[in-house]
Amino acid sequence: MNQTSDMYIPTFDDVTAAHERIKPYVHRTPILTSTYFNNLTGAQLFFKCENFQKAGVFKARGASNAVFGLDDEQAKKGVATHSSGNHGLSLSYAAGRRGIKATVVMPSTAPQAKKDAVRGYGGTIVECEPSTSSREAVFAEVVASTGADFIHPYNDHRVIAGQATCSKEMIEDLGNLDAVVAPIGGGGMISGTCLTLSNIAPQTKIYAAEPLNADDACRSFKAGHIIADDAPDTIADGLKVPLKELTWHFVSNYVTDILTATEDEIIDSMKLMWKRMKIVMEPSSAVPLAIILKNKDIFAGKRVGVIITGGNVDLDKLPWNKN
Site for its own copies in 51-80 (CB under 8 A): 51-52, 56
Q: How many residues bind its own copies (CB under 8 A)?
A: 20
Give me the least distance between CB of 20 and its own copies, in Å please.
21
Angle between helices 188-200 and 59-68 (to 10 degrees): 80
* 26: nearest Cα among 192, 141, 163, 127: 163
Helix (H) or strand (E) holding 197: helix 188-200
137 binds its own copies (CB under 8 A): no
Q: Is 250 in the site for its own copies (CB under 8 A)?
A: no
Smallest separation, CB 175 to its own copies (Å): 20
User: Considering the rule CB under 8 A, would residue 278 count as an interface residue with its own copies?
Assistant: yes
The yes or no reply on residue 280 touching its own copies (CB under 8 A) is yes
Buried b (16+ CB within 10 A) or exposed e, 209-237: bbbbbbbbbbbbbeeeebbeeeebebbbb
- Taking CB under 8 A as the criterion, the residue among 28, 30, 140, 222 binding its own copies is 30
Among 122, 252, 274, 294, binds its own copies (CB under 8 A): 274
Distance CA 33, CA 170 (A): 13
Least distance (Å) between residue 274 CB and its own copies? 5
Q: What pairs with residue 180 in β-bridges?
A: 206, 305
The correct pick among 1, 223, 231, 315 for binding its own copies (CB under 8 A) is: 315
The one-letter code for the residue type at 313 is V
Judged by CB under 8 A, the residue of 32, 137, 227, 293 near its own copies is 32
- Applying CB under 8 A, the span of 152-160, 242-250, 279-287, 289-297 interacting with its own copies comes to 279-287
Least separation in angstroms between residue 117's CB and its own copies is 10
Sheet with 205-211, strands from edge to edge, namely 31-32, 44-49, 303-308, 179-183, 205-211, 257-261
* Shortest reach from residue 246's CB to its own copies, in Å: 29
Residue 40 binding its own copies, by CB under 8 A: no
* Identity of residue 49: C
Bridge-based pairing state of the strands 44-49 and 31-32:
antiparallel
Give the torsion through C-alpha atoms of 115, 120, 126, 127, to 10 deg.
10
Contacts of 135 (CB under 8 A, 6+ apart): 82, 105, 107, 128, 129
Which CB, 176 or 278, lies closer to its own copies? 278
Residue 86 near its own copies by CB under 8 A = no
The least distance separating its own copies from the CB of residue 54, rounded to whole angstroms, comes to 8
Q: What is the nearest approach in angstroms of its own copies to the Cβ of residue 216?
A: 28
Closest CA to 36 of 269, 286, 291, 277: 277
Task: Work out whether 7 is an interface residue with its own copies (CB under 8 A).
Answer: no
Rule CB under 8 A: which residues touch its own copies?
30, 32, 51-52, 56, 271, 274-275, 277-281, 311, 315-316, 318, 320-321, 323
